[in-house]
Structure 1
Amino acid sequence: MNYFGLNHKRNNISRDSLLLEIYTMNLPLYDLTLIVPTFNRQSFALRNMRYWSGRDIVMHVMDGTKLGLTPLQLAQLDDNIHYHHMPELSIGERLNEAIDLIETPYVTFLSDDEFFIPSALSSCISQLKADDELVSCMGLSIQFEYKNGNVIGRRFYQSLENYSLLQTDALERMLAHMDPYVMSSMNSVVRSVVWKRSMRLLCIGDLSTFNIGELLFELAVCFQGKTKVISEIMWLRSYENKIIIDHAKTKSFFIWWRSDDKSEDRSKLLSCISSILTKTSNEREMVKSFMLLALNRYVNTYDKIIIGKDFFNDIIVKIWLLIPNNIKNILRLVLKPFIKFNTTNLILLVAKEWSHEGVKTNFIELCEIEKVIQYFYKVEK
């Protein structure tokens, strides 16, 4: 593939600078399985499958769409891509099925319209191999979309920078993870034995009522061991499709968690979680108490952050709307040395700017993904 087919001169990024910053092409990922659920977005899932086809990674796509991909569409994919059409199963049930498909030491989870930079995945595996106490490792993220013929983006989940849970005590890790909460394991490279136990929590049927499957997965991972985020761009978070967040369900969790008449239901949930994560009765009681303390911390912290954040943002937005545009531009220039404005730009320039702060990026692999996205919109879609 021509990795330099784009006009990098246009992006102020020379071919030589790209070559200087690449580490190693096609690092082996034989030890990693990639799990990708999809539903009614088969064109994006197919884009993802084509990208990973022929690479040294195992990929399982769990499709809940009514009509599956055709044999002709699948015929062009190499043997490392495994497509499972399961229209009768919910996403939780499909992920539960995926657990039994994993045979590699490490596994990671990705949405159907998103990308990982392969060399960053390899960096995470290297971290896990070097430290037996580490169970999860991930890199930093850029959010992207396709607009006016360009792939543009901005830094995403900046709270991941320098984030780690390296406390020796499991409870300390869990409490630290909830105060404040940072999603740092869901899209990380995880040891398979840890991922399988944690994913079974996300698949518990009753949890769909509250949108807390992700939260319990995160808690389960850090209960089982240490986690860290490396200073390398790994996850390209798509903004191409509408993100559905059911705030009503999330809010209902807080109401349910605090209701006096739901104590028995909460106890049943905690018992279910502990039975998945541990074996002996003593361990189960410990997990129940840890989960109870961690979820209480999450609920209390969430209240303080959201109430304060909403109040502060409301004031700032109202003031900002009253300021003329020419004054806004001057303020941006004056405040730039003191405030990091997370502006949208060409995705390569976003990565380049981040690299000046010491964040590693495999620019050749990033360019390849940019070309895949552009081709998708100009030719395939």
Structure 2
Amino acid sequence: MNIKGFQFSAVEAAIKKPGRLDLALIVSETPAAVAAVYTTNKVQAAPVLLDRERTENGTCRAIVVNSGNANACTGPVGMDDARETTRLVAEGLGVAEEEVLVSSTGVIGVPLPMERMRAGIPPLLQGLGGGTLDDVARAIMTTDTFPKLEVRTGKAGGTGYTIAGIAKGAGMIMPNMATMLAFIVTDAAVDPAWLRTVFAAGVERSFNAITVDGDTSTNDTAIIMANGAAGNPMLSGGSEGAADFVRLLDEVLLTLAKLIVKDGEGATKFVEIAVKGARTDADAKRAAMAVANSCLVKTAFFGQDANWGRIFAAVGYSGAEVEPDRAELFFDDVQMVRNGVFAGGHAEARGTEVLKKKEFSVIVDLHLGDGEATVYTSDLSYDYVKINADYRT
């Protein structure tokens, strides 16, 4: 992967336990345009609060990330620790402290082990240039079972550029956003104001369209840095190549979002929930998320039970406008419900076969308008309980 003007590093700091990478750094060699989207949870971790302030400036130079500890619900000490972390990195890089962002993920309510952070930052700085974005993807994992990385290349004004992204997340996944971190870097030159607009829209179509368990975290953060090192003409709304940039960025974001669902804690199924024919797009999103978050629906997916009644019930309580005698429901191409009525035992047998697959779609057509939405979810298995019953130990 050739992405100009960025350096990466990751080290083991034993923040929660030894034996794995858990402290990482992304650095732009020049000031980069930055945009970010954060959790809507009113309980927000110190790094989220600090980054909200700093990304208002529209530029940054570096992001330092740790896993194993969320630095959330840690009071004034947590904010002091977040600031000290960025100060130590900034001093090592020779940049302003305000140009360094910080993200954390892991256990809530436990102060950062700052003696380990302080010890880990010097080797982290020394490793710049020798590390890769894949190293960073591994360092930010918590209950993830695999690193999540996606890359796209494009051209603007005849000049090639790269968009690369990483993410972590497997549980506590629900908009807006999820217990996820996502970092996107591009060497394209992008207008900062336009970048904020297209990034927020892309997050809405990707990270805000997934759910594993309906829980919104305290630390959710998605950040994009664009440093212009590729040397392309500045991209902005209406400029040549702008539409291609948005398409490629959306592909990176949606692929990462889907990988998070596929890695859902204990998940055995990846399910696309599509609602169409709603009065509005907002109604379609309400209905789709109600289905995707229903514990009864998700356990039926795990049990490979074609229990379409649970899906209809979720649509009905979602708040979306519904006329039951007009609605249809499909598992992939198998019609389970026609005009609000069960299609019969043959359909159930075929629908059960669909649910035996690792990936399938649920399509609900309300036949009320042009509104539509698609969200992505997983099933709810025994292993989800096992993983989360002893997460802190």
Q: Could you tell me the TM-score, scaled by structure 2's length?
A: 0.30
Higher relative contact order (CA 8 A, sep 6+): 1
Which of the two has greater helix per residue? 1
Relative to its length, the structure with more strand (as a share) is: 2
TM-score normalised by the chain length of structure 1? 0.31
